[in-house]
Amino acid sequence: MKHEHSHEHCPPNTIDTHYIHQTTTPKKLNNTHRNHVIHLALSFFLIFVGYSVAQNAQTSMDETIGNTTLFLVYGSFTAFNLLSSTVLRLLGVYRTLLFSSFSYVLFTLVLIHPIPFFLYPIAVICGCCAATLWTGMGTYLAGEVEAHDLVNGLVVYSSVGSFNGIFFGVNMFSFAFGNLVAAVFFEVDVGEDLIFLLMAVIVGFGSLSLLFLKVPPKDTTEETGITKHVPRFATTQLLETLNMSLKNGTMKHLILPFITTGATKSFIWGNIPPLIHQQNTKFYVMAFNGLSAAVFSVIFGRLAKRYGSVYVTFNVFPFLLTICCVIYFLVGSGGEGDSSLAIVWWASGVLGLVDGSLTTLSNAMVGELFPKQKEAGFATMVRRETEVVVEGAFSW
């Protein structure tokens, strides 16, 4: 007898996936949407190879200029997150990612001659664009996860962990690669001007590669013919983001992992580099941190795919929080000479574990828990993380 499925009880603006055989996995998956995510990850790799070097250099320049610059970047980053989802709805994911990435080229270029008159305004522009870039990234990635699972007859959003693991594994490796290249250049005494010019060229290639990013479907998934959620007017996004930040009960339960992620990044960027006096050693240590974060991003992405991002996060979070507290104490108590440097190396690797795992899990949770409010969800998550970075800037 032919089975007829009734659509009477399907809520409006939702995807009816009842007919999909979710208990069987195809022998050969259609990986088109996974390849789109890999493309995005490689573009971000090039962008952040250069930016990671520029960011770490901030703590090496004049203390006042460096700290003020980073404060402006992350202060504007935090403030503009309230509007990032609105910009995303107005411009679309593709244009948002492309235009936002250009600010990273400007920021890296201005460091060739870091004059505050030019550096400070570009830092603000970069921070605002960072808000839209990362909100757009999370939205794009979540949409590709949904399309991948629908096309392959999988449980929708069951691949969110592995996709985030792939993306952040590649993205975190950019910090390792960029800082490793900078360390070698400083060791062979290549001029700083040439280093930052080369990094700006690499960031430029990353931005231009976004021109070829596959544009996600707007209202339908072509492969399945299923009507997707039609976006509301962009003007409603600010209210939705505010509601997500202030009233959403599910989001409130995620605040502590988000804050810990931001605090970890703040500590890595602001407290680790100043402890190292040799320029090339500083970049080697940060490269080690990036490598650790990349490896654990992939590992925890796989764990999230198998057990669910929420389950994994709240089972490992107490352990990760304890690690952070121990590291903060050890680095704070310090030491002298080789002993101090050994602690910094060890702390850098372990904090990479925390950063890579929580970044991957946080993004996976938002994509999984807020499928119809992606923009507001990612904007809120990023804002919570950057608030802590801004607060940490006062102590750098």
Q: What local confidence, expressed as pLDDT, does residue 339 receive?
A: 56
pLDDT tens sequence across 118-127 = 889 999 999 9
Rounded alpha-carbon distances, angstroms, from residue 34 to 2, 84, 335, 365:
34, 25, 46, 18
Residue 26 lies in a domain: no
CATH number at residue 160: 1.20.1250.20
Structurally, the chain folds into a number of domains equal to 1
Phi/psi for 226 (5° steps) reads -90, 130
Residue 156 lies in a domain: yes
Cα gap 103→143, rounded to integer Å = 25
pLDDT tens sequence across 340-356 = 888 889 999 999 999 99
The two three-digit tokens of residue 43, written as one number:
């573009």
Residue 244 lies in a domain: yes
Residue 247 lies in a domain: yes
Q: Are 168 and 38 in contact (CB under 8 A)?
A: no
Written as one letter, the residue type at 37 is V
pLDDT tens sequence across 217-253 = 553 334 444 434 444 444 555 556 656 555 666 777 7
Residue 145 lies in a domain: yes
Residue 15 lies in a domain: no
- Domain range spanning residue 81? 32-393
Residue 91 lies in a domain: yes
pLDDT tens sequence across 255-268 = 888 888 888 888 88
User: pTM, whole model, 2 decimals?
Assistant: 0.80
